[in-house]
Structures are given as structure tokens and as C-alpha cells.
Amino acid sequence: MKAFAKKALVCAAAIAMTMGMATSAKAEDVTLEFQQWWGVELPDGALQEICDGFTAESGVKIELLSNPYADTKTQVAAGAATGTMADVVGLDGSWVYDFAKQEAIANLSELMTADGYDTAQLSDQIQYQGNTYMIPVVNFAYPLYVNMDILEEAGVEAIPTTWTEFLDACAKIKENTDKAAYCIPLSTEAPNGIQNQFSTWLWASGGTLMKDGKPALTDNEMLTKVVDFFKTMKDNGYLTDGVEAMKEQDMVNEFENGRLAFMVDGISHLTTIKTESPDLHFTYAPMPKEDSYEGQSGMDVANWGIGIAENCEHKAEAMKFIEYLMSPEVNAKLSQLANAFPGNNTAAPDYSANDELFLTAFEIFQNGYAINEFTGAPTAEDLMRSMNEQLILYFDGDTASVADMLTATQTAWEAAYE
Amino acid sequence: MNSKLKKTLTPYGYLLPTLILMTILLVIPIIMVIRYSLYDNVIANKNPAFVGLANYVTVLSDHDFWNAIGHTLFFVIISIIAHMLIGMTFALILNTRYLGARTKGIFRAVYALPWMFTASVIAITWRMVLDPNGVLNYILMTLHITSEKITFLASRDIALQSVTLINIWSGYPFYMISILAGLQGISPDLYEAAALDGADAIHSFTGVTIPQLKPILISLIMLDFVWTLQQFALIWMTTGGGPVNATETVSTWIYKQGFTKFQYSMASTGAVILLIVCTIIGILYVRQQRAEA
């Protein structure tokens, strides 16, 4: 009996060791696919280096699938439809509602709770029906870019701080130069001009598009003023020619080529603009406010968000990877490399190597509050597109009044919220 | 296995790899899309309900869809006519005996160039050409043809014509090369006989060239109809169907339904309608080919 017990003990130990080895081998065998657009926008090899750090720490391999933003969106949407999404996906806040509703992305609240993860350190969480589905890894602010040479040529002495001053500056630019004053890209293909170059004026003056999480476009006094403000710019020829077919990159090209005095754009483009147009004399400024508004300004932010596919077979490892990216050190490094603000409140990026203008933008950002009402909204891109179309119809005179324009947009938006 | 059975099965064995591939890549996806079109929003809804032809009623009573059909027909018909005229003209130039072999070679390469580019390259190039600050506006203003910049792709009045122009430019070389091959296959004896009968150049063209090219021309028109009907990349990358919906075609309408509204059933319904039209043209094409054979 003793011999039998000994044999059984040895067998049990052998099985336990084998199981243990199998378990440790299993972690090393796991490879997570990470689909995102970040790798394309970061310096060459930077994201791979960060992911290699996770592999060294955990043994889990990360396979990067990096493509430009638009391609990533199409591929993630196709993956969501067919259940073949990459394990970990880069997300934009405007996609979250639809993918969460489709149950294509995993409930991170459950995974964070299971891991005992402290969510207090996160700057934000994008939720659907009370559960988190996306965590913003880094945030990009959208300040006002100002071409100082055009202002000087036009005889504009100071950067405008109110709408009246801005329109005065536009008038001088039109009169004294052959440059455009402002640009709102309104291409139907990528209608995010409504978010970044239009709504940003509303948010800067304390306005909102939503009330209690629902569209509130009609009888919205500040929004009505913003639409009229844009109509004035359009009618007076202050906007770049052909905005109806322009994409954000076209606007950046116009600015880089010194043909545009003001633009609202993400600070992620700072390095590109500095590299491609080293002689361009420009600065960042806070968004001009509506003349009577004296409160704090909201600043449009976009983010590199992250989520886990519902079809991921290694959700626990995927969550560990997210926790790694959100750890103060890694998050700080990623923020510094991306010219962005950290998604972890405790991260302290060393921006000393970043451009001086970045620090200016950081200061502007800190003086206001971050806002983006399209984040987490249903079919957010389609909401932007319907407002885009209504704005063009109003520009062209097909819609009689701002009230009619906003009523038509409200009707289209309400359909998405049903 | 007896030799008779083996002899009967052998051809099917050769066909099997192709049949398997066609089933996976063609038949199954088509069946899936048709099935999706009969359900209340699939994919986005985990438990879709069967709704029969309700989606077809919704799509066919949607003003925007009919608007897209109108634009598609304009885009397709004008493209085909222009492709034919330009392709024929350039093919005749390249087939003439008045040009030397080297000159013909250079022209052939230059004329065929648009066909070598991918849709994205064509879209980017033409966006730069048609930009208000682009090459075409510069030329027009320098020659005092216009005093103001023309917003070719941004104006709702001319955006569809501009996109059609881009498609014409990108598609005529296919006609040119095919017609040129047909012209080179026409026996010179026919032209000599026509000349002896007193036919001038125009009569030779209408009495000899066109009848001899007829099978090729019909095939070209049918193939071009189907290809142009499905054109998506060029329109999406130049205007995205806008401004507003000035250049919306059936293909961009389907894309928006699927990828921005997440209405996959509606997108599938639109795709099935497009499939039916293409199938009808395909059947006509096959019949025409058989008749010629």
C-alpha cells in the first residue's frame, strides 16, 4: 500500500509538473493580433518596441497589423461583421456604440473587475449601456493652428480671441492677401470636419449638441449661432474654395503650403507639418469664443482607443496587454512618442524632447476641458455625414433657415437613436 | 471501377478544384447576401427576424436609392459612349498606315497609360488636377477661359460630370486595345473590294469596319456596362458620393448602408438588386457569344 501511495504521489507530482510546464508553455504560445493605425503614425518601429516589452514581460507575443486609419476602420468593421476581428483592436470613440451593440467587442468592465484593475487611474472609459468597451490610450487635442506670416501680410496684429475679431481677421486676409482664412473639410467620404472643424467652435463657447445623451439640435441657441457664423464665412468667401470635396488631409496640405491662415487640427500633425514645411511660421492658439461667452472652453479631443474582440480566445492575456499599455511608464512613453496626452492620469510623460509648440498646446488643453460628443454616439460617422449634408444645403441656399437645417439634422439623428 | 464509369467521372475530377473554389468564393457569398436581404437587420442584430421582401419594398421606395440609380445610369451610359468613341478614334489612329512603327509604339504606350494605374492613383491624380488650386484651373485661368476657380468636384452641379470624366479617362484604353486587335484582324481584301465598288473612307468604315467589329463592340459594351455599374473605388476616393448626394451611385449607397449605418440587410438588398441587373447583362453576353460562335 505504501509503495502504491508512493507511486501515486510520484505520478501526481509528475502530472502536476507536466501541467505546470504546459501552463507556462501555453502563455508563451499565445500570440495576440493587434490591429490599429497607430504603428503607421508613430516613428518607425516604436510600437513594435513597446509590444516587445510586453512579450519580454509576459511571454505573450504581439503580432501588429498596422494600416492607415481609414483601412483599419474598414477592416475592423468587416471583422466585426464576420466574427474575425483581430484579438486586440485600436478603436475610435465614434465606432464603439455600433461594435458594442453588435457584440463584436468585449465588455472590458467584466475583464477589469476579474483582474482587480484600478480604473481610477484611467482618464476616461467609453461605455455602452453602463459597461466599458473602449479605453482611450492617448488623447489628441485639436487647437487652432495660426499661420503668423499670413496674419502679418494681412495686417492682423493679434490672434483673434472672439468671433468678431476672427471675422475681422478673415476680412483683412481676404482683402489684403490671396490666401484663404479658414477651412472646414466637408467631403462625404470622411465627414469628420463636422466634429473637428465645426463642432469645435460650439464646444469652445460652452455649447453642446446633446442633452441627456440625446440629440438637442433644435432650439439650440449656441449651435444656431455657430451655423450662422459658418454661413457668414462661406458667403463672404473666407473659406477655402472647394471645401465640399475636401478631406482633412487636403486642409493640412493647404496649411502646409501657406495658403490657409487658420485651421483646427490635431496636434498629431505637428511633427509632419514641421518636417514637411520647415519654413512655415505658425503657432497654436485657443479657439476664439462667441463674444458674450466668458466661461471655460471645451477642447475637441480624439483618441487612440483600445478594445478586445469578442471572438478573442485569450481575453485574459489581451486584458493584460491593455493594462501594460495603460501602465504609467508605457503610457507616458507612448504619449511622448505620439505627441499626445496620456490616457493614464498617473503617467508623467517627459515632453522635454517634444517641440516647443506642443507645450503651448498642452497649456491650452490644461486651461479648458476635453470634450467630444461623437465619442460613443450611435453611427457617429453617419451623424456627422447627415449634418455635413444639411450644412452644405444651407450654404447653397437650398435650406431657407438655420432652424430648418437643424430640424432636418435632428430628424436624421433621432432615427439613429431609436 | 469499370472503365466506362471512370471515363464519365474523369472530366468532373478535373473540374472539381474549380467547382470547389467557385462554391467557396462565389456561390456561398451570394447565397449569404441573398439570405441577409430577407432578414431584419442581420449582423448588428444577433437574432434577426425573417421579413421576406420587406427590405426590397423599403429600398425600392427610398428616394435616395432611386437618386443613386439615376446617377449610376448617367455615369454608366456616358462612360460607355465616351469609351467607345475615344477608344475607336485612338484605335483607328494606331491602325493607320500613315504612321511609322516607332511613332505607333509611342502613341500606343501613351494612350494605354491610364489603364496601367490603380484606382487610388487615378483618384489622387485627378483630385490634384481638378482642385481649385490645381493644374486645370491654372490653365483655364491663364488662358482667360474662366475668371473664377471652378470647383469641379465640390460643386453639386458638375461633380457627377467630373467623376464621369475621370472614369472615361481611366477606362478608354480597354476599348482602344480591344478594337485595335479587331481592326488588325480585318482582311485588307474587304477594303479593296469596297474601294473597287467606289466606297469612300466613311462608307468603308460603316460598311466594312463596323460590321466586322460588331461582335467585339457588343462584348465590350456589355463588359463595360457591368464594370462601370460596379465602380466604387474611383467615386469613393474622389467625392465619397457627395457633395450631399450629387455623385451617389448604387455602389456608394450600398457601402454607406453597410459600413456607416451598419444596416447590413439594406446593403445586401441593394447588392442583390445590382446582382440581378448584372446577371441579366451577363446572360445577354453569354447568349451573344454563343450566337457569334
Q: Quick one: CA dihedral B123, A81, A33, A344, positive or negative?
A: positive
- Residue that the C-alpha cell 468564393 belongs to: B25
The SS3 assignment for A136 reads strand
| CA nearest to B220, candidates B185, B166, B171, B291 | B171
pLDDT at residue B38, as a whole number: 96
Q: Which runs of consecutive H residues, i.e. helices, occur in A30-117?
A: 38-41, 46-58, 69-82, 96-101, 108-115
A246 vs B: CB within 8 A? yes
Check residue A64 and report its DSSP letter.
Answer: E
Please name the residues between 49 and 108 in chain A that touch chain B, using a CB distance below 8 Å.
74, 77, 80-81, 98, 101-103
CATH topology of domain A2-139+302-357: D-Maltodextrin-Binding Protein; domain 2 (3.40.190)
- Residues ≥6 apart with Cβ < 8 Å to B94: B104, B107, B108, B111, B176, B180
The neighbour count for residue A233, using CB atoms within 10 Å, is 20
B262: left (phi over 0), alpha (psi -120 to 50) or beta: left
For testing the chain B interface, which of A187, A194, A384, A389 should be mutated: the one with the most B CBs within 10 Å? A187
pLDDT tens sequence across B210-262? 999 999 999 999 999 999 998 999 999 999 998 999 999 999 999 999 988 88
- pLDDT for B46 equals 77
> Considering only the top CATH level, what class is A144-285+378-417?
alpha beta
pLDDT above 70: residue A24: no
Residue B30 CB partners (closer than 8 Å, separation 6+): B275
Indicate if A144-285+378-417 has the same CATH topology as A2-139+302-357. Answer: yes
The verdict on a CB contact (< 8 Å) between A242 and B261 is: no
Position A180, amino acid: A
Residue B29, CA distances (Å) to A40, A81, A267, A301, B21 in order: 32, 13, 43, 40, 12
The pLDDT of residue A12 is above 60? no
Q: What percent of chain A has pLDDT over 90?
A: 69
Pair type for strands A31-36 and A88-91: parallel
Cβ atoms of residues B164 and B79 within 8 Å: yes
Chain A neighbors of B258, CB-CB under 8 A: 81
Contact B237 A189 (CB under 8 A): yes
> Domain boundaries in chain B?
63-292
pLDDT at site A81 = 81
Cα–Cα distance for residue pair B163/B160, rounded to 1 Å: 5
Phi, psi for A390 (deg, rounded to 5): -65, -35
Pairs of CB atoms within 8 A across A/B? 85
Do A242 and B132 make contact, defined as CB atoms within 8 angstroms? yes
Residues of B with CB under 8 A from a CB of A: 43-44, 46, 127, 131-133, 149, 151, 153-156, 159, 236-245, 256, 258-262, 264
Mode of pairing for the β-strands spanning A369-371 and A131-141: unpaired
* Neighbouring residues of B270: CB distance < 8 A, sequence distance ≥ 6: B59, B65, B250, B253, B254, B257
| CA A306 – CA A89 distance, rounded (Å) | 6
Question: Contact, A357 vs A270, CB < 8 A?
Answer: yes
**B153: closest chain A residue by CA:** A245
pLDDT score of A291? 95
pLDDT, residue B225, reads: 93
Closest by Cβ to B244, choosing from A74, A80, A392: A392
Instruction: Over range A151-166, report the average pLDDT.
Output: 97
CA distances from A361 to A41, A143, A306, A358, B279 (A): 19, 7, 24, 5, 57
Quick check: A101 and B159 CB within 8 A? no
pLDDT in tens, A77-126: 888 888 899 999 999 988 898 899 888 999 999 999 999 999 999 988 99
* Percent of chain B predicted with pLDDT > 70: 99
Q: How far apart, in Å, are the Cα atoms of A359 and each of A272, A342, B214, B246?
A: 17, 14, 70, 43
Task: Cell numbers for A316, please give them.
Answer: 485574459
Percent with pLDDT over 70 in chain A: 93
Q: Taking residues B189-201, what's their average pLDDT?
A: 92
Contacts of B239 in chain A (CB under 8 A): 187-189, 245
Res. A18: pLDDT tops 80: no
> What's the confidence (pLDDT) of residue A6?
55
The bridge status of strand A282-285 relative to strand A144-147 is antiparallel
Quick one: DSSP state of residue B205? I
In chain A, which residue's Cα lies nearest the Cα of B232?
A189
C-alpha cell at B291: 450566337
**Which pLDDT score is estimated for B162?**
97
- Chain B environment of A103 (Cβ under 8 Å): 46
At residue A329, what is the residue type? E
- Residue closest to B273 by CA, chosen among B74, B79, B21, B61: B61
Distance of CA B23 to the CA centre of its chain: 25
Which pLDDT score, from 0 to 100, does residue A43 have? Answer: 86
State the Cα–Cα distance between residues A378 and B249, nearest whole angstrom: 25
Q: Any idea how long chain B is?
A: 293
| Residues A245, B237: C-beta atoms closer than 8 Å | no
Rounded Cα gap, residues A300 and A266, in angstroms? 9
Kindly determine whether residue A189 and residue B239, on different chains, have CB atoms separated by under 8 Å.
yes
Q: Can you tell me the mean pLDDT for B11-19?
A: 94
Q: Which residues pair with A33 in a beta bridge?
A: A63
Name which of A17-26, A301-310, B64-73, B159-168 the model is least confident about: A17-26
Nearest CA in chain A to B149: A241
Cα separation, B75 vs B161, in Å, equals 8
Homologous superfamily of the B63-292 domain (CATH): MetI-like (1.10.3720.10)
Confidence of residue B112 (pLDDT cuts 50, 70, 90): confident
Q: What residues does A89 pair with on adjacent strands? A: A35, A307
Name the average pLDDT for chain A: 90
Tell me how far apart the alpha carbons of residues A107 and B58 are, in angstroms, rounded to a whole number: 34
B88 pLDDT more than 80: yes
Where are chain A's structural domains?
Answer: 2-139+302-357, 144-285+378-417
* Interval A352-388: pLDDT, tens: 888 889 889 888 988 889 899 998 899 999 999 999 9
DSSP annotation of B279? H
Q: Provide the pLDDT for residue B69.
A: 95
Question: Which chain A residues are within 8 Å of B237, Cβ to Cβ?
Answer: 189
Spatial neighbors of B247 by CB under 8 A, at least 6 apart, are B71, B159, B160, B163, B235, B238, B239, B241
Across A148-172, average pLDDT:
97
Residue A183 has pLDDT above 70, yes or no: yes
In 3D space, the residue among A149, A92, A137, A93 whose CA is nearest the CA of residue A283 turns out to be: A149
Sheet containing strand A144-147, edge to edge, reads: A262-264, A144-147, A282-285
ipTM over the 0.90 cut-off: no
Element (H, E) at A211: strand A210-211
Q: How far is B99 from chain A (nearest CA, A)?
A: 43
Confidence of residue A28 (pLDDT cuts 50, 70, 90): low
Q: For the residues A44-48, what does the mean pLDDT come to?
A: 93
Q: pLDDT class for A29, splitting at 50, 70, 90?
A: confident
Mean pLDDT of A326-351: 91
Closest residue of chain B to A94, computed from CA coordinates: B260
Give the amino acid at A352. Answer: S
Length of chain A: 418
3-state secondary structure of A263: strand
Which candidate in A98, A189, A311, A392 is best for mutational testing of the B interface (most B CBs within 10 A)?
A: A189
Nearest chain B alpha carbon to A79: B43
Task: Determine the distance in angstroms separating the CA of B40 from the nearest CA of chain A, rounded to an integer.
Answer: 14
pLDDT at residue B2 above 80? no
**What pLDDT is recorded for position A19?**
45
Which among A184, A174, A196, A134 is positioned nearest to A322, based on CA atoms?
A134
